[in-house]
Structure 1
């Protein structure tokens, strides 16, 4: 049903009302009020819907488009049709619904506030599912005057109510509960998380359940939104930062005092399994103590590890009875005969060894920056693995060639070959000659003319 209402304004600050009897369906109200009024920068237009039956609530909307609804529109239909509505008052069955209009250089809207340019068109409509009476009231008001009475110790500031924590709504009348202080969540109760500190937050439930959970900067309607079904809720630090930025932006544009909140509602009774919120006040001390304790433990472990690594593990090869001078000499011999190098350097020198891709001792695959020791029998291992091995086993883990004190001592007395990597081992029967198979192993089947020459 369509009604035409033409409002003729005389004095700018007058109040104009129009009553309707037993209306139903979508009521489009055509008016030239936006062309006739001349608001100053310090004024705004307050349009209020009231005097309807409490059990037959109409929904009051102002839309930039000309929508045609077949039923009371939901949150997504309202958003898609670029409509502004006091949906929170409708959802919580308030006795009136109010839309605030300001003329601004740019079109914009948030919550129940709409900014219009002088040339913009706006469509006023009311939708009723059952027959009901209602009254529409137009009022021009100064921006610094609150159009509602602030409740629960809310303070009127810049024409909007500034609510204390635990209360929300344009009049601070709606009580909400802190989610971080709960162990059990009741259905149809609104819970909030204050993300002012921009920390990550997570709450796990004992079972999967359906709920809505959103930043009021993205969706300012408290009990509306996309339904989720899972066993936890989580806010990452970047999410809380984005939410805070959105709310600060809307507060600045519309002179609001909206708190930086995430809101949670569910139709189910929910048990919280654990609260892993990093910003929970009651867990702050635990987190600090735990963090310090873990840090100290890691420092101690790291110090012990560095201390252990600083003493060459090859020392144990020579037994307790070896003298300190002999140990030092033999450490130098080992480092000279089998110097530590990276896996990348080794394969670059000897491409034939690239087939061996994992350490035979620890079975871990080699990476380019891994530290390697190569034995005279052309087998190579992680340096730490080989050092630990020869503490108890004086033979090559792969081919069983001798790696004892006497053998190493004889090898260090021969001439260097292959840039110090391998020595001429002719002084012992066990390592007297390098066979052609060893050369193939070092350089592969096709030996390059530029390959290093090994003295046989």
Structure 2
């Protein structure tokens, strides 16, 4: 095992080629062709140009160019790193120029550009330009590495797999907790709603993140200085939704930005809807925060549910309570009504049964009424329910299916009575009722002896008139039929005479 490690180190050392880009190189004004895969470059002039040419077998591979700076250090690398396809023959367009904007804006020590497979052929040339923008710079020392792989390379291998986990299919680093940026190189503090971050010292730049959960759709972020140095601190705050093209927010790209110049605090409502659930990372995307200061400053950060969302939660909770209470009240009232109806039904049935079993009480009540049992049977005889329904007078009427006195449904064989006003009741129920009230329980038509007698005579007279009308109509039909028969005989005779005397 030790031998294998030593052998690998020797191969790497032997494969590393040293290049010096100085004034003598600048005078040639030509790009240096790269034949090896790794170089250590010492650049002492502002511009350096290289190029390499892939082979035909490389067309289905990712071409990756990495710069790892040994000097200057992270945050001080002020240059522009780009790759242009076929720059020498002037056939390149904007889509043929590739940048690492994330590393350029953050002045990162590690920079990477990747070119997708099947976007080039063996005749294409790729030109690498390293342009130092720093005014008073010293030598730039960096490693230049060119690799050709079947899978996409994660930036800086996610800190050599110490700071995150690489998704080789997409070339994306899933950073471990407390690390952010495309290559997980920035250490960040987590901001939660449980407790604020206080007395945070900002020397140059510090990074923070807020991990969204499923419940919150927006939050309010509060920032402030712990002292009164807001006039000289130069604190600036940049906020960005996590994405995998731009690592952390900065002056050049952010979704929210503001400063604490001339004020000691600031509040901002942040919409969390753009932070979607990432299936590859198995978590919601994060809200990234960068705070920079020209001079050292102490700050605090606090995250809370926004007022509008809090009010909405309160309102929705109250609505739910109101709905549940209303449903409970309706159910309680329904239960009370059902109990009352059942009690009334049972009471009436018991009263009817009591009256039937105690005829002496009925006799006492009848003494107070103008009706007797014989009169009730005479004017409103007992019949079975189905027999009453067969009467012609009830064919076109809307017949009730329950007795209005005891509120029980009629059975087909139930013994009932019907009133002259054409209402049906149980026989005993109607008898008990009219002994007290002498009227119809449903329409209140008087049912005393005198009224019953008049109604009966009126019904008989009406029936007699209807009988006379039917007899008269019958006679008219006989006369009409006789005339028709006579006319038919006359026509037959005329036809017969015409046939004999043509």
Does the alignment reach a TM-score above 0.5?
A: no
User: Which category of TM-score, normalised to the shorter sequence, fits these structures?
Assistant: 0.3 to 0.5
Tell me the TM-score normalized by structure 1: 0.44
Tell me the TM-score normalized by structure 2: 0.41
Q: Which has the higher helix share?
A: 2
